[in-house]
Structure formats: C-alpha cells, structure tokens
C-alpha cells in the first residue's frame, strides 16, 4: 500500500497537488518518467515537482520513484514488517545527504566537547538510553543513562555535560519537564532524537536528529507507541563512531 505523511500532503499547494494526484493515478507510468516528463504531463515546472517531493519527505524525484517502486514489490511480505524495512532503507539513504551530514557534525562537535554524556528517556526510549550509554562507554565515551524522569542529574548545568534525550513523539510530558529544567542552566547542551522535527523537544534542543517514520500504535493498547526505533539505534552508533574517530 502506498502511503504518504498526511502532514506533508496538507502542505502541498494547488500546482503541487495536481502533480501529486497525477502520480497517484499513474503509479506504474511515473516509475519510468523523468522529472521533466512528469512536469510536462501535468503542465508544471520541474521546480514545482521538486518542492512537492520535499514536502512529502523525500530529497528529490529519484528518491520518490524509488519509494513507489519498492512499495509495489513482494506482496507476500507482512505489511508492517515490510514498511519498517522500506522506511529504514530510505532513512539510511537520507542520512548520507549533505543536510544530514551537517546536523550529525553539529552533534558530534557537542559530544567531543563533553566531559561526560547523559542519555535520557522513558519507556522504550529509556531502554534505548541504557543501550546508548553502554555503547558510548564501550567505545571510550563516558556516559550514563537516566530512565527515571525524577532521578537527580549529576553535574546538571556544568558546561561540559551533554544530554542526549530520546523520545519518539518528542512530546512526552515527563521528558519535556526534565528538559525545561535542564534549560534553566544557560550552559545546558542538549541533543534530541525524535521521529519528527516539529516537536516541543526538538525546539528545546541545541541539535535535533529526526527520522520521519510513519507513526504506529499498538492494537492491544492504543496508547502504546510502536513506531520503529531502528533509526535511533543507527543514530547512536553513528554518533559514537564519528565522535571516537575524530
């Protein structure tokens, strides 16, 4: 099933929507089209097509075509399982882009300047915080994990302490309260890893790394967020290696 972020679709203007609607109505044909051919078919400029692809969360027309092609393959694979693999593949392609490289470099600079690092998260993100702290420590970067939002923070506010805050939603009340407290210190340095960039946590951070996966909730408990955390593990390991190598 072809799916796109509702937030991205809502951002499309009239011309961009006409290109998007043409794609949905001609999925097989557009796989063979160049960006210029698509523009001519819809009577819009190639710049309009590029703006549409970026609003939908892709770096360009080639990446959007790659997504469309792969979405139609291997029907026998369970949908949720395949969706996660496809989204992960697209994520790994995106983090090699120039924009992603700049963000990662900013985060690595903060890690290199820190005396020690605090990983903060609750629930599933708390488990990943434990993993992150262990991974960083094993690679030579002194790190600790806080999965209890009420736990006291050693060295809070010190200029050489860095907090790496994990939250898929970026809106968890206990996490936001913790980060606001950290922000009371002018020297606080915070890297956040969230699913989307437009979140409260992202706005409170010095650097935000996000992965843009489709949000998924548990059928057993609709309040439980099951959005894949594979990109968080990837970010943790990439940051650790880049910081230790430099």
Q: Structural domain of residue 179, as residue ranges?
A: 98-245
Domain annotation covers residue 87? no
Q: What is the pLDDT of residues 38-72, one digit of tens each?
A: 999 999 999 999 999 999 888 889 888 888 877 66
Residue 145: CATH number of its domain: 3.40.50.10490
Domain annotation covers residue 81? no
Domain annotation covers residue 90? no
Q: What is the largest CA-CA distance in the chain?
A: 61
Domain boundary (22, 57, 73) is at 73
User: What whole-number percentage of the chain has pLDDT above 90?
Assistant: 43
CB 117 within 8 A of CB 244: no
Q: What is the pLDDT of residues 183-233, one digit of tens each?
A: 888 888 999 999 888 899 999 999 999 988 877 666 666 666 667 788 999
User: pTM of the entire structure?
Assistant: 0.65
Domain annotation covers residue 85? no
At what angle are helices 230-245 and 79-94 packed, to 10 degrees?
Answer: 30
Is the same domain home to 103 and 216?
yes
Mean predicted lDDT score pLDDT of the chain: 84
Q: What is the pLDDT of residues 151-196, one digit of tens each?
A: 766 655 567 889 999 998 899 899 999 999 888 888 889 999 998 8
Is the same domain home to 66 and 147?
no
How many domains is the chain partitioned into structurally? 2
Q: Reduce the secondary structure of 131-199 to three states and give it as a string.
A: HHHHHHHHCCCCEEEECCCCCCCCCCCCCCEEEEEECCCCCCHHHHHHHHHHHCCCCCEEEEEECCCCC
Range in 69-73, 75-79, 202-206, 236-240 with the lowest mean pLDDT: 75-79
Is the same domain home to 62 and 171?
no
Residue 29: CATH number of its domain: 1.10.10.10
Domain annotation covers residue 39? yes
Domain annotation covers residue 127? yes
Is the same domain home to 202 and 110?
yes
Is the same domain home to 10 and 121?
no
CB 53 within 8 A of CB 20: no
Look up residue 76 and give its two tokens. Answer: 């026998």
Residue 246: which of 144, 95, 142, 113 has the closest Cα? 113
Domain boundary (56, 73, 90) is at 73
Is the same domain home to 103 and 43?
no
Residue 61: which of 28, 31, 84, 85 has the closest Cα? 31
């Amino acid at each position: 099933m072809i799916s796109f972020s509702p937030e991205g679709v809502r951002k499309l203007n009239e011309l961009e929507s006409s290109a998007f609607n043409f794609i949905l109505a001609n999925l097989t044909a557009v796989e063979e089209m160049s960006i210029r051919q698509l523009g001519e078919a819809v009577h819009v400029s190639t710049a309009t097509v590029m703006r549409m692809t970026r609003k939908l969360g892709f770096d360009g027309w080639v990446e959007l075509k790659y997504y469309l092609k792969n979405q139609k393959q291997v029907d026998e694979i369970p949908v949720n399982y395949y969706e996660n693999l496809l989204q992960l593949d697209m994520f790994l392609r995106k983090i090699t882009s120039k924009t992603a490289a700049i963000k990662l470099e900013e985060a690595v600079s903060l890690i290199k300047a820190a005396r020690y690092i605090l990983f903060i998260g609750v629930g599933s993100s708390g488990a990943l915080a434990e993993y992150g702290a262990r991974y960083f420590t094993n690679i030579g970067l002194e790190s600790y994990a806080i999965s209890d939002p009420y736990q006291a923070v050693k060295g809070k506010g010190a200029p050489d302490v860095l907090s790496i805050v994990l939250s898929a939603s970026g809106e968890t009340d206990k996490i936001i309260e913790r980060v606001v407290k950290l922000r009371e210190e002018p020297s606080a340095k915070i890297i956040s890893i969230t699913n989307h960039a437009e979140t409260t946590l992202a706005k409170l951070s010095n650097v935000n790394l996000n992965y843009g996966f489709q949000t998924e909730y548990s059928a057993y408990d609709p309040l439980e967020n099951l959005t894949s955390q594979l990109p968080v593990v990837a970010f943790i390991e990439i940051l650790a290696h880049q910081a230790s190598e430099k």
